[in-house]
Structure 1
Amino acid sequence: MAELKINIPEYDKEKGAVSIWEDGFVIKSKVINDQIMISANQAGLISLAKQLLFLAQIETPPGCHYHLDDHNSLESGSKEIVISKI
């Protein structure tokens, strides 16, 4: 089994959600027949995992979220994605 070590910053209410992107990440999203498809290269998948692990921390409060779109993190033409902790 491969081992991957990931450093995830702790939640800080003054900083809010911290984005942690791997170099060279590529993430695309689209809707096909009412299904959401997210496609990513290795760096993109690791980056998404980091965002999810950040949200999963006990200190991260409900409502903390990431808003991903083709202007800041997704490839051009991608559908917007909001990932939120409940």
Structure 2
Amino acid sequence: MEIKLEIPEYTGEGIIYEWEYGFEIKPIITNGEILITANRAGLISLARQLLTLAQEDIPVNFHLHYDSDNSLEEGSNELIIQKI
């Protein structure tokens, strides 16, 4: 199987979040474990954003911040992914 993703180029003005239609993502913390559940569209969306964050021009400590107000399902814990 091959999936081709177009990754938005980093221009120094922040990351462009691109979402697949119908995406669902819900991270929860339970018993000290982080569980991220997502449908196919959600997984593809996260993959695209992780590849975007991995670009060489994106500075260290830049991060992606997700919460239920802007992208995650109701009842989700906040999710922050930071480049080191």
- Give me the TM-score of the superposition, normalised by structure 2: 0.96
Q: What are structure 2's unaligned runs of at least 5 residues?
A: none
Q: Structure 1 residue runs of 4+, over 6 Å off?
A: none
* Residues 60-85 of structure 1, C-alpha deviations (whole Å, 9 max, x = no match): 11122111000001000100000111
- Aligned-residue identity in percent: 55
| 1:7-42 C-alpha deviation (Å, 9 max, x unpaired) | 00111112x121111110000011111000000000
For this pair of structures, how many residues does the alignment match?
A: 84
Structure 1 unaligned residues grouped into runs of 5+: none
Distance in 2 separating the partners of 1:20 and 1:30: 22
Contact conserved, 1:27 with 1:39, CA < 8 A, in 2? yes
Task: State the SS of the aligned residue for 1:83.
Answer: strand
Q: When the two structures are superposed, what TM-score results if normalisation uses the length of structure 1? A: 0.93
2:3 maps to what in 1? 4
Q: CA RMSD in A?
A: 0.7
Aligned partner (choices 55, 58, 74) of residue 57 of structure 1: 55
Q: Tell me, in whole angstroms, the C-alpha distance in 2 between the residues paired with 1:48 and 1:4.
A: 14
